[in-house]
Amino acid sequence: CRPLLARMPEVNQAIAMPIGHGSLALGDRYRLGKALRDNHYDHAYVLPNSFKSALIPWFAGIKHRTGWLGEMRYGLLNDH
């Protein structure tokens, strides 16, 4: 998705997922979310349809978190 997002002027930055597929790595997800807080993002689009992928924007305190509600992501995503 990053090449597509790079062509969208309304997208400030696309962030690649640094945590491997299938790994919970809850501490790493928490640290990444906390690091993203300093950027004051106002919207996150969570493309992977997993509970784990919705944790980072939630930890980051991003107000608008958009994505599908699969895998019990109620509360982690607020725009679906």
Per-residue pLDDT of the chain (80 residues; tens, 9 = 90+): 889 989 999 888 888 888 888 889 999 999 999 999 999 999 998 988 889 999 999 999 999 999 998 888 889 999 87
CATH number of 25-80: 3.40.50.2000
User: Residue 53: what residue type?
Assistant: S
CA distances from 8 to 1, 16, 33, 37, 38 (A): 11, 16, 24, 23, 23
Report how far residue 49's alpha carbon sits from residue 71's, in angstroms, rounded to the nearest whole number.
Answer: 7
Compute the C-alpha angle 46/31/74, nearest 5°.
35
Q: Dig out the tokens for 71 from the structure.
A: 């895998």
Report how far residue 41's alpha carbon sits from residue 24's, in angstroms, rounded to the nearest whole number.
Answer: 23
